[in-house]
Amino acid sequence: MIKKPNSIPKPKGKLGVLIPGMGAVATTFMAGVIAVRKGLSQPIGSLTEMGTIRVGKRTDNNKPKIKDFIPLAKLNDIAFGGWDIFPEDMYDAAVHADVLEKDLLNKIKRDLKKIKPMKAVFDNKYVTRLDGKHVKKGKTKMALAKAVMKDIENFKKENKCTRLVMIWCGSTEIYLKESKVHKTVKALEEGLKNNDPNIPPSMIYAYAAIKMGIPYANGAPNLSCDVPALIQLAKETQAPIAGKDFKTGQTFMKTVLAPAFKARAIGVEGWFSTNILGNRDGAVLDDPDSFKSKEVSKLGVLEQIFEPEINKELYGDMYHKVRINYYPPRGDNKEGWDNIDIRGWLNYKMQIKVDFLCRDSILAAPLCLDLVIFLDLAKRVGMSGIQEWLSFYWKSPQAKKGLTPQHDLFKQLEKLENTLRHLKGESLINHLGLDYYEED
């Protein structure tokens, strides 16, 4: 149980948001926050900006905006920084990403031009489809981690930040399994000094942030902070951590539909999901080793929701396949198809087709905003380690050892909302409706 704080410290001063990987998602996030600040657009898709929460009894009819219910950092108080292997400033990077219209970008050009990436920690062995020159040099991975920490300190001073959050929006690295070097903080620190090949760049940034007690979110399916050593370190340094892999398009839909089938005891024989996308992320995922990281992350959700081991007749033989195809003409505008073969009463077969014509970074940007805002809240109230209440945002939520992560979107939302209620000392809502029987 999360300890209820006596009071929630106010978010005083500036919140620095540090982003390793300043490509399509990151620029759409930053440009969006700046545009909203200037009143040029609306933060649609962000729970922390637009969402409401029910408080008290149903009869109270009390549904404030989340941001009015609990003290959260304000958009005006956010300062952005980060790292990339390309030196382009955030205006050029956003133009390159080709997500937002030029007209909007030109209105915020001055602000975006000012944000320039710091030199990255990068090794093309881990993202084989990319190479860039804007990269740090260091004899050991520990030296690189220390260089990142120095960057963080400088950023904090220059931008007069009182608090920081780091969110990985970098490319998907090749698939790595947890190994010996990831087991303990000591082993990881030794590994950083000895350039252990099982420590990819994303883990170096994560180590740097967590070592400094800074909240860390992992937007890609990379192992990153999802190893015992960094979970342990996060506890020691009081850093909240969360991951992994933003739940935006197809998996978002999957974790809405699958609980509905399960709720009605409808059988599922097969679920075939395929995507076409043509942005830089698509090019990176065209490498089978990076795709493997994504595939593992995308495949896990149905197993947990359907529990085929206890629902054999309904889901025991389900065939689940996920494909991603790089198709340049579509750019960031991904198309995700799902063919779902379902079975109803007396085993009669039916099909459902979903064709989601989405915009990858438009879906991901509000998630980035919510995550940095909620992680800052978590840090202020003293919550550290894995933040399971933020599972709502992830394809492959990190969970405590021995626990199965929850994938059902609505159960995830309930947990998120109840965590906020708990922090504020409000009663939790379980929809039992007992208040109906109460006298008042």
Ligand X SMILES: NC(=O)c1ccc[n+]([C@@H]2O[C@H](COP(=O)([O-])OP(=O)(O)OC[C@H]3O[C@@H](n4cnc5c(N)ncnc54)[C@H](O)[C@@H]3O)[C@@H](O)[C@H]2O)c1
Q: What residue ranges bind ligand X (CB under 6 A)?
A: 20-26, 83-86, 97, 120-122, 127, 130, 132, 169-172, 201, 219-220, 245-246, 248-249, 279-281, 284, 360-361, 363-364
The least distance separating ligand X from the CB of residue 37, rounded to whole angstroms, comes to 21
CA angle 220, 247, 131 (to 5 degrees): 25
From residue 403, give the alpha-carbon distance in Å to each of 182, 304, 388, 399: 19, 11, 11, 6
The strand pairing partners of 19, in sequence order, are 82
Q: For residues 103 and 129, is the Cβ–Cβ distance under 8 A?
A: no
Q: Quick one: the chain helix, strand, coil %, rounded to 5? A: 45, 20, 40
DSSP letter assigned to residue 269: E
The least distance separating ligand X from the CB of residue 336, rounded to whole angstroms, comes to 10
In the complex with ligand X, the residue whose CB is nearer, 293 or 387, is 293
The least distance separating ligand X from the CB of residue 347, rounded to whole angstroms, comes to 36
In the complex with ligand X, the residue whose CB is nearer, 87 or 308, is 87
In the complex with ligand X, the residue whose CB is nearer, 192 or 423, is 192
The least distance separating ligand X from the CB of residue 298, rounded to whole angstroms, comes to 9
User: What is the Cα–Cα distance from 302 to 315, expressed in whole angstroms?
Assistant: 10
In the complex with ligand X, the residue whose CB is nearer, 23 or 240, is 23
Q: For residues 258 and 314, is the Cβ–Cβ distance under 8 A?
A: no
The least distance separating ligand X from the CB of residue 269, rounded to whole angstroms, comes to 27
In the complex with ligand X, the residue whose CB is nearer, 191 or 267, is 191
Helix (H, G, I), strand (E, B) or coil at 116: coil
Sheet hosting strand 240-243, strand order edge to edge: 118-119, 78-84, 14-20, 161-168, 216-218, 240-243, 385-386
**In sequence order, what DSSP letters do the residues of 66-105 get, joined into one string?**
HHHHS----GGGEEEEEEESS---HHHHHHHHT-S-HHHH
The least distance separating ligand X from the CB of residue 343, rounded to whole angstroms, comes to 31
The least distance separating ligand X from the CB of residue 215, rounded to whole angstroms, comes to 18
In the complex with ligand X, the residue whose CB is nearer, 132 or 213, is 132
With CB atoms as reference, the residue minimizing the distance to ligand X is 23
The least distance separating ligand X from the CB of residue 216, rounded to whole angstroms, comes to 14
CA angle 324, 285, 140 (to 5 degrees): 160
Residue indicated by tokens 């620095």: 16
In the complex with ligand X, the residue whose CB is nearer, 121 or 423, is 121
**Cis, peptide link before residue 244, omega less than 30° from 0:** yes
In the complex with ligand X, the residue whose CB is nearer, 65 or 146, is 146
Torsion angle in degrees (nearest 10) through CA of 284, 287, 293, 299: 100
